Chain A
Amino acid sequence: MENTPQIELTSVHKYYNQGQENEVHALKDVNLSIARQEIVCLRGPSGSGKTTLLCLIGCVFGPSSGRAAVGGKQLQRMPDEFLTKYRRETIGFIFQHFNILPHLSVEKNVALPLLPLGISPREQKSRVGVLLERFGIEHRKNFKASQISGGELQRVAIARALINDPPIILADEPTAHLDSRRSHELMEYLVSLRQDGKTIILTSHDPLVTEHAGVDRIVDVQDGCIVSGSR
């Protein structure tokens, strides 16, 4: 088991708006293999297809052609409903702007991924409590998300990504809007998740991320193709 890759993409193509005038060929013949507990950073210029690749790994959509296996499941030709169901059990997302809902409390925000899983409110509370304590924001749990500091916000975002205990954590340019101290802090948190057995995939062109000691591998993406680091 240890040796089977956690993520395996073979000859993957991804088109947006396939067959239409505004068709975009966003991923071209991508081959990529990522092992369990690996920390991988996708790097490349704007528009190269990093986010698209991340969404593909995150089961947001399947490949237009080729084969994609994530956590041992084949994603090609799977209906959206299946992808969604699989995504909520397998993937934790950390977004660029964190995408925390401002009108909800910290506690409710962190619990969001548990709602469609049919987890009871009591169980939600106890799981959220554990994570907030781990990240030192227990005392903010009843604050509205719009009322907490930026540093607290990023910890809320990480807690939310971990709440369903997913094997894979994805982060799309997590440091793009942070100063260097916050960026460094965030990377330390992310890298520490390896101990929980998580596989972590980031996109970034921030040297603070790409040159971080915890990152195992850089995958260079250019114009929809992986130019190095595909292994």
Chain B
Amino acid sequence: MHSAIQQQLNILDYGLHSLWQKKGKNLAVFLIFSAVIFLLASFQFMSASLGKTAEHLLKTVPDITVQQLLAGRQVPLSTESVEKLDLIFGISDIRLRIWGYYFDESNGANYTVIGSSAPATDPLLESLLVSGRYPTEDENHKVVLGDAVIQNLDLQNRTHFSLFRPDLSQISLQRVGVFQESANLLTADLMLMGLEDARDLFAMQENEITDLLISVGNPVEISTIAEKIANALPGSRVITAQQIQKTYKAVFSFRSGFGAACLLASLAAFVILAFDKALGFSREDQQEVGILKMLGWQTRDIMRLRFYESLATAACAFGLGISLAWIHILFFDGILFRPIFLGWSVLRPTLTIIPYIQGRDILLLFAFSVLPYLAATIIPAWRASIVRPDSVV
């Protein structure tokens, strides 16, 4: 082998070896760095996963959603309002929906219940069925379940089960289909049923629903039509898809920006610590460098030695941090970060996070953690390297 390459390998080998020999000294920095990477990576993975979720959710938002407000709070909407909308030109379809949450006292779980006037064609649920079928419009007591619901109710292979109405009488239901797992985010906790059944379950009045979902033929007309609907239904809240997207994006980017700032601050603190530690260059370190230089190591060899040491420390910490973050998101649902992203509970209280981890994010994390760390160690490495060889005689 060429001796210049062998020389570099020797320096690398020496660096790794002495790092290992002095592992106690580097442990603190290693652990802190791993922890910072862990937080940063968990955060990044979580944002990416939630971003993906949002994308999914927003794709399924109807052109216009109409709800009824009373004293600023949402109350049921009467099906009669549909007739008032008949006169508005440009509406291509109106769908009735009851969207609510069912609290299962036996295991403390919340299920999302959607009662739809046309379950088979609800845009939210397009092609998510893995087995079975959707209830047809005139069928009663038939539901499609997400797998979290099946697990929580401990249904296994049974298809018949019952839920409680508010007065604790029971309503019996039959499972006719299951949602596919890859659509977990949307459907894990979901029970889809006909409008009648949902109304029965929640003990709502004969003609009550929670939302009207309106499709508009021509997208450019959405805002004018929304205005007309608002005028036709006094006290209603009319939300366009665009508004929902804007709101979620604003909330989401505020929250991720806030978190990112916190993490950057901790990263900065860490870099300062690393810098400080490396600057506090002990007498033995100084002695070692003097000896190496006396024995024929060039100034740049010492710089390289330090660089390799920093790189090895940073790379190991990076690997550890990323792995832990991966486990955190994959197996623990990002539990540490849920409070930061709490805003999402407005959207869906039982959001299940599917890890969405891209090579690009890992590169980004590398660029924002390992590179600043290495940069922070350059000055201390240079300071070490200029120790004079004759300082040891």
Contact = CB atoms under 8 A, between A and B. Distances in A.
Interface of A: 51, 54-55, 60-61, 80-81, 84-85, 87-89, 93, 95-96, 99, 101, 103-104, 108, 112-121, 160, 164, 172
Contacts of B295: 88, 93, 112-113, 116, 160
Interface in B1-37: 1-7, 10-11, 13-14, 17-18, 21-22
B339 interface: no
A60 B22 contact: no
B298 A84 contact: yes
B322 to A, nearest CB: 30
B392 interface: yes
Closest 9 A/B residue pairs (Cβ)? A88-B296, A118-B3, A118-B7, A115-B10, A118-B6, A103-B21, A113-B295, A99-B291, A116-B296
Contacts, number: 86
Contact of B390 (A55, A81, A117): A55
Contacts of A160: 295
Interface in B278-312: 287-288, 290-299, 301
Interface of B: 1-7, 10-11, 13-14, 17-18, 21-22, 287-288, 290-299, 301, 389-390, 392-393
Nearest to B291: A99
A51 to B, nearest CB: 6
Given A112-B292, A115-B14, A95 B393 contact: yes
26 contacts: A51-B390, A51-B393, A54-B393, A61-B390, A81-B298, A84-B296, A84-B297, A84-B298, A85-B298, A88-B296, A99-B392, A101-B291, A103-B18, A103-B21, A103-B22, A104-B21, A112-B292, A115-B10, A115-B11, A115-B13, A117-B7, A118-B2, A118-B6, A118-B10, A119-B3, A120-B6
Given A55-B393, A87-B296, A116 B287 contact: no
Given A95-B393, A108-B17, A116 B297 contact: yes
Contacts of B21: 103-104
Contacts of B389: 60, 84
Secondary structure call for the A interface? helix
A80 B299 contact: yes
A134 B1 CA distance: 29
Given A60-B390, A120-B1, A93 B294 contact: yes
Contacts of A89: 296
Given A54-B393, A81-B298, A112-B295, 10 more contacts: A61-B390, A84-B298, A85-B296, A93-B294, A104-B18, A112-B291, A115-B13, A118-B3, A119-B6, A160-B295
Contacts of B10: 114-116, 118-119, 121
A172 B21 CA distance: 29
A95 B292 contact: no
A60 B294 contact: yes
A80 B11 CA distance: 20
B301 A116 contact: yes
A99 B293 contact: no
A108 B288 CA distance: 13
Contacts of B1: 120
A101 to B, nearest CB: 6
B51 to A, nearest CB: 48
A126 B291 CA distance: 23
Residue from A113, A118, A160 whose CB has the most chain B CB atoms within 10 Å:
A118
Nearest to A100: B291
A160 B296 CA distance: 12
A116 B13 contact: no
A103 B393 CA distance: 20
